[in-house]
Structure formats: structure tokens, C-alpha cells
């Protein structure tokens, strides 16, 4: 996922969570107001408000349940991201652990190529051991 897409997703998720939080707070506030009115009202009005109150409580509980479900989904998404991140980190550690070995192999290849190049410059076309020997002889002859 590209960085702008991640930023947009993060922004959208944050906005929806804040909006949901605001709705829940308003619902709970309205429920408290309704309960207080039901307690103060007379018996005939209290009966009407009781039905309305139970219906409102069921709807608030349904909204809470949906929020819990969404939260469980977000937790699963966070766990998947955490797992992916740890897997990526372990792969990166494996690559970094193999890095020094690759550097050493590269140095050895360059060293062998240098020795063979020196031997070829001196007119010898043979294997690596002979090329080293010839290279040493030529160095000794110069010195």
C-alpha cells in the first residue's frame, strides 16, 4: 500500500472512531435525560416513557454491540499488521545477517581476479595457484 493510501485510511479510521464516540456519548446522555424525565413524570406518562425507554436502551445496546464488533475487527487488523511487521523484520534480519558473508565473498572474488589479472599481464594463462606463484615471483624479481 502506498503511503498516501495509508494516511488516508488512518485519517478515515480516526474520523469514524471519533464520530462513533460522539454518537455514543450523545445517546447515553439522551438516555439519562429520558430516565430522569420518566422518574419525574406521573404514572400515565411514565408508562408511555417506559416503552420508549426500553426501546432506546435496546438501540443503544445494539450500537454498542456494533462498536464492539468493529473494535474486534480493528484488533484483528492490528494483530495482522503486527504479525506482518514482525515477519518483515525477521526477514530483514536474515538478509542483514547474510550481508557480511556476501561482502567477504565479493572481496575474495575481487582478490582472485586481481591475482589472475596480474598473472595474465605477465603472460601466464593458468589456474589461480599457479597465477599466485607467478605473481609472487614477478614481485620478488622486481624488488
pLDDT digit string (tens) for 23-78?
A: 888 988 888 888 888 778 777 777 777 888 888 889 888 988 988 998 898 889 88
- What pLDDT is stored for residue 45 in this prediction? 76
CB 88 within 8 A of CB 73: no
DSSP H helical segments within 1-143, as ranges? 3-40, 43-121, 128-142
- What pLDDT is stored for residue 74 in this prediction? 87
pLDDT band at residue 127 using 50, 70 and 90 as cut-offs: low
Is pLDDT above 80 for 84? yes
In the chain, the largest separation of any two C-alpha atoms, in whole Å, equals 121
> Mean pLDDT score of the chain, rounded to an integer?
81
Give the N- to C-terminal CA distance of the chain in Å, as an integer: 63
CA distance 41 to 45: 6
CA distance 59 to 133: 91
pTM: 0.53
Amino acid at each position: 500500500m502506498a503511503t498516501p493510501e495509508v494516511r488516508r485510511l488512518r485519517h478515515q479510521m480516526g474520523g469514524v472512531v471519533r464520530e462513533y464516540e460522539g454518537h455514543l456519548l450523545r445517546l447515553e446522555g439522551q438516555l439519562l435525560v429520558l430516565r430522569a424525565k420518566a422518574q419525574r413524570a406521573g404514572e400515565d406518562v411514565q408508562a408511555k416513557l417506559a416503552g420508549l425507554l426500553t426501546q432506546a436502551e435496546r438501540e443503544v445496546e445494539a450500537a454498542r454491540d456494533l462498536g464492539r464488533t468493529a473494535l474486534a475487527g480493528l484488533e484483528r487488523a492490528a494483530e495482522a499488521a503486527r504479525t506482518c511487521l514482525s515477519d518483515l523484520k525477521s526477514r530483514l534480519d536474515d538478509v542483514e545477517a547474510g550481508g557480511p558473508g556476501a561482502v567477504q565473498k565479493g572481496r575474495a572474488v575481487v582478490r582472485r581476479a586481481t591475482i589472475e589479472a596480474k598473472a595474465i599481464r605477465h603472460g601466464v594463462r593458468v589456474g589461480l595457484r599457479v597465477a599466485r606463484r607467478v605473481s609472487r615471483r614477478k614481485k620478488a624479481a622486481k624488488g
